[in-house]
Amino acid sequence: MFFSVVTDPRDRTLFATIYHYGLRVTEATLLQLEDVDLERRRVFIHRLKGGHSGERPLFANTAQVIQTYLKVRLPTGSALFTGRQGNLKRQRIQQLFRRYASKVGLDPFTVHTLRHSIATHLLEAGFGIEVVQEHLGHVRIASTLIYAKITDRRREEIYRQVEQSPEIVKV
């Protein structure tokens, strides 16, 4: 829903990258052109708050939007995401998000919602909490456990698995 209104190549790439890699807004501003290697399909993520920085695989969808964006990228700064005034700043990214979010009725949400969304989506897809921890760059599992609230859909699936497990005694 959100991405359906984000048509500008830079903004689409910015928010897709934030979502796909669970970035904080400031982490998105730290991305430099040289952090993206389209040939090797890798991206270097700079994590804050003591998180695990490092190279990650570049998702095919992310690579595609980055390639599209790079054709129109303004050469006004060294960061991956630039505007007319140079490198995009946190405040500008937040402002852009609010504009797009209001178009689809997501007014109370912030850019950080994209980070929460990827964590929730990974859990709903069946990935373990350790995968989410690594994906978000958390040092401590306790930081990741806030996402471990089980959704109704996932809860139903877990109960079906428990019920069918040969380890559970049938009475």
Active site residues: 24, 49, 112, 115, 138, 147
Euclidean distance between CA atoms 80 and 122, whole angstroms: 26
Between helix 152-164 and helix 112-124 the angle, nearest 10°, is: 20
What's the one-letter identity of residue 56? R
Among candidate residues 106, 129, 107, 111, the one with its CA nearest the CA of residue 119: 129
Q: Which residues pair with 44 in a beta bridge?
A: 55
- Helix, strand, coil share (%) of the chain residues, nearest 5: 55, 10, 35
- Which alpha helices (DSSP H) does the chain contain, by range? 9-21, 25-30, 60-70, 90-103, 112-124, 129-136, 141-144, 152-164
